[in-house]
Amino acid sequence: MTVEPTPITVFTGFLGAGKTSLILSLLKQLPPKYKIAILKNEYGDVKIDSALATETNGNLAGVTEMLNGCLCCVLTGQMRAAVVEIQEKYHPDRILIETSGSAFPAAISIQLRELSKEFGIGSSGPGIRLDGVVNVIDVENFDGYADTSKTASLQAQFTDLIVFNKWEDVPGRQFETVWDKVNDLNTDTPKIKSNRGTIPWEAILGMDSKLSLDLLHQKEHYHDHSHNHAHDDSHTSEIETLTVRFPKTLLDGSELAAFFRYLTVAPKDEIYRMKFIIRLPASKLPLFELGSDEVQTYILNWAFGRYDFTPISNETAQALLDDSLAGVGTVMVGRGDGRMFRKRFSKGIVGIAEVELS
């Protein structure tokens, strides 16, 4: 009996473009017995998105996170081990790879093509195949980050499907401008608009990545390009990451109010993303002043001035948040801004937070 290789779909897109939300919306559309495993790559050292994914859908086989680096360069040697572990542990019907905001998709596609050939030679497992690469575009903020991130433009060029996300609330002219810019980068690739962060599950199935085939035919060219990219300062220097820990005694009173006020005014052209796990009474949350005083744990997600709080179960929270802490998370800023924001978070915004610069 022939065992079909496990299809892999790769999601790329700049920080805050909506990759995680798009993947979570896809999980909700799964047929009952279709199992998905997620390999997530993120800067920082806090496994926040695993909590969201784990509580989203019973069809999720498992989540593996590769932290503190970029999958296409710093962590390139670890992807093989991660894929093997996922297949042996979860036996999924499909693997979704969510890359970091500055990952170079061509390099990842080459790695997956090499792994597919390696696993196909004398392998007792099902093997893998790259089914497609999906690039998520944040229409509302594309003009800003495309100008500052070379990789954002490359992500739009090396993909099998482009998803225009967060377009509903922008003026029609702005959407047309972004569409034209993306079309100039990549004319032939199919493009669709999400519906409030959702696309049909069928849109990512059976793409049989033309990108991966093209890369295979032009392997020498792209191998040189991706190798240089992995050592290119412009890639590795785009992001600096702060790990922020809030002592249990901190998130109360004036310090808590000051932190939440900062969420509304934080500079979206300097801070790319904030993700936190925070434990506190609902009555302390912004816009929820009449909430219960019962302590609950929340995921705080901030991107480009927008933020939300998502409650998670106590069981999930215990695995992510130390009892000595009221909150922990990552703040991703532009290169050269890390020291400035370390000072702001440790002395200005919340006063006594413990802040590490990666």
Q: Output the pLDDT for position 175.
A: 96
In this prediction, residues 25-52 reach a mean pLDDT of: 82
- The mean-pLDDT minimum among 132-141, 169-178, 227-236, 348-357 falls in 227-236
Task: Let me know: does 312 contact 299? Beta carbons within 8 Å.
Answer: yes
In this prediction, residues 226-230 reach a mean pLDDT of: 44
114 compared with 39, residue with greater pLDDT: 39
- Highest average pLDDT, of 4-13, 138-147, 310-319, comes from 4-13
Q: Output the pLDDT for position 179.
A: 96
How many residues are recorded in the chain?
A: 358
Residue 213 CA: distances (Å) to CA of 94, 116, 133, 160: 20, 13, 12, 11
- The mean-pLDDT minimum among 30-34, 42-46, 172-176, 191-195 falls in 42-46
Strand order in the sheet with 128-138: 60-67, 36-42, 94-98, 6-12, 128-138, 161-165, 191-193
Q: Output the pLDDT for position 209.
A: 62
- In the predicted structure, residue 61 carries a pLDDT above the cut 50: yes
- The mean-pLDDT minimum among 25-29, 220-224, 331-335 falls in 220-224
Q: Output the pLDDT for position 225.
A: 44
Residue 172 CA: distances (Å) to CA of 66, 178, 193, 220, 321: 38, 10, 13, 42, 43
In this prediction, residues 39-45 reach a mean pLDDT of: 78
In this prediction, residues 99-115 reach a mean pLDDT of: 82
- In the predicted structure, residue 131 carries a pLDDT above the cut 50: yes
- In the predicted structure, residue 220 carries a pLDDT above the cut 80: no
356 compared with 257, residue with greater pLDDT: 356
Confidence of residue 274 (pLDDT cuts 50, 70, 90): very high
- In the predicted structure, residue 219 carries a pLDDT above the cut 50: no
Q: Which of 181, 179, 207 is nearest to 191 (CA)?
A: 179
What is the β-pairing status of strands 128-138 and 36-42? unpaired
15 compared with 74, residue with greater pLDDT: 15
- In the predicted structure, residue 161 carries a pLDDT above the cut 90: yes
Task: Let me know: does 15 contact 273? Beta carbons within 8 Å.
Answer: yes
172 compared with 209, residue with greater pLDDT: 172
187 compared with 114, residue with greater pLDDT: 187
Confidence of residue 289 (pLDDT cuts 50, 70, 90): low
Q: Which domains does the chain have, with CATH numbers?
A: 6-235 (3.40.50.300), 239-357 (3.30.1220)
Q: Output the pLDDT for position 75.
A: 54
In this prediction, residues 24-46 reach a mean pLDDT of: 85
- In the predicted structure, residue 56 carries a pLDDT above the cut 90: no
* Mean pLDDT of the chain, nearest integer: 81
- In the predicted structure, residue 18 carries a pLDDT above the cut 60: yes
pTM exceeds 0.75 for this model: yes
What is the β-pairing status of strands 295-303 and 60-67? unpaired
